[in-house]
Amino acid sequence: MALMITDECINCDVCEPECPNEAITPGDEIYEIDPGKCTECVGHYDTPQCVEVCPVDCIPKDPDHVETQDQLMIKYSVLTGQ
């Protein structure tokens, strides 16, 4: 399941550099996560790094992009060329 950033985002800029897949970008008002690139850090880390550093807890799982661990691992392999 990809993650999403809610409107509680305060644009603190800490999540974007933590994303190993470069899935987080500045949006018009808040940061956004590209569900096509988000693997919840599967393949890179044990936990999503953006969630770890977010000071306002505004990065939940995106119910519109449900994926299993296996699907996230396949996405990781495609994105990294492994």
Judge contact between 6 and 60, C-beta under 8 A: yes
For residue 12, the one-letter residue type is: C
pLDDT of 9 reads: 97
For the chain, domains (ranges, CATH) are 16-80 (3.30.70.20)
Q: Is the pLDDT of residue 1 over 80?
A: no
Q: What is the pLDDT of residues 23-58, one digit of tens each?
A: 999 999 999 999 999 999 999 999 999 999 999 999
Whose CA is closest to 69, among 46, 42, 51?
42
- Phi, psi dihedrals of residue 72, rounded to the nearest 5°: -65, -40
- Global model pTM greater than 0.85: yes
Neighbour-count burial of 30, counting CB atoms closer than 10 A to its CB (0-12 exposed, 13-18 middle, 19+ buried): middle
Greater confidence, 60 or 82? 60
